[in-house]
Amino acid sequence: MKNKVAYLGAGTWGSALACLLAENGHDVKVWDRDLDLIKILDEKRKHPKLKDFEISKDIKYLSSLEDVLEDCDVIVESVTSSGIRPVFQKIKEIKKDLCPVIITSKGLEQKTGLLFPEIFLDIFSEEEKEKVGCISGPSHAEEVIKKLPTSVVCSAYNKKLMHDIALLFNSENFRVYPNADILGVSFGGALKNIIAIACGISDGLSFGDNTKAALMTRGLHEMRKLSPSKGCNPQTLNGLSGLGDLCVTCLSSLSRNYRFGRLIAEGFSLEDAKIKIGMVVEGAYTCVSARELGMKYDVALPITEAIYRILYEGLSPHEAVKALFQRAIKEEHL
């Protein structure tokens, strides 16, 4: 079935998924708050950060959010953590007859500690709960656009919508597994970015594979410990949206969070490292809200705390790793 898709966000991830949807036969219109980017994409069919990839001519790029949302069957978003609430508020103002909204961004909102499906409910109310879903998992945009085999997870509060999302995105090279735990799927995608920064720092300090393996394993443990505070099933984090996404983000130089961590280890400041990356580093944003959640629910998050102190309190990366390995030994609980 052909759908009219309103795609909000034209970054690398948004561009990769918009092209996938167009190739699946859907009518795709794209909006981004960066109007210069929209103009470039419309005229040149090349993304500044994906220069070897030509964007489908079937995709329409529009500068007006109202025009993109008009008569759409489904809304897909790929905006930043800090931008998702304003975008949802705009949708509420414009789209009086709300259609399904699919979240593809990953993060935790600062101050509130809300996952993105929870932000949706905060703005649209529980009455619209059946209309929100998400997609998450190990999926670099640079590999999706090359049609390299990729597996992800989709979820929704409504079972039918969950399976509709799978059908919408599923393709020969992009496999979508339904999972009913929408908060768990969202949580895994958010928290893994913090651990990726830690792994980037570790590699930047030449600590080796042993250290990185420890950070990833204990990082997953932190994620599982904190997940019940958001009503998640900890077992969800053993799947693609947790362990899978953790692996791809911590082990690949394509990961902006990993590369950001390496820059921090090399002596770059928080702001200079962000500028060097040239894209939003969601882990730097999310570690603030994850730390706040840990404090609120009295859950120890030593890796998250270390990353927070490195980024926002000036702790030396060397001292942070040293402190982690000097923590009291406890029995491993899985």
Active site residues: 192
**241 and 164 share one domain:** no
> Which CATH number do you get for residue 63?
3.40.50.720
**59 and 21 share one domain:** yes
Mean pLDDT, all residues of the chain: 94
Give how many domains the chain has, as a whole number.
Answer: 2
Q: With bands split at pLDDT 50, 70 and 90, how would you rate the model's confidence at 326?
A: confident
Q: With bands split at pLDDT 50, 70 and 90, how would you rate the model's confidence at 334?
A: low
Domain stops at, among 136, 156, 183:
183
pLDDT reported for residue 48: 92
**235 and 163 share one domain:** no
Position 170 in a domain: yes
Position 334 in a domain: no
Could you list the residue range(s) of the whole structural domain that residue 37 is in? Answer: 4-183
**168 and 277 share one domain:** no
pLDDT tens column, 243-302 = 999 999 999 999 999 999 999 999 999 999 999 998 889 999 999 999 999 999 999 999
End-to-end Cα, the chain, rounded Å: 44
pLDDT reported for residue 280: 86
Position 48 in a domain: yes
Average pLDDT over residues 89-115: 95
**252 and 145 share one domain:** no
**165 and 262 share one domain:** no
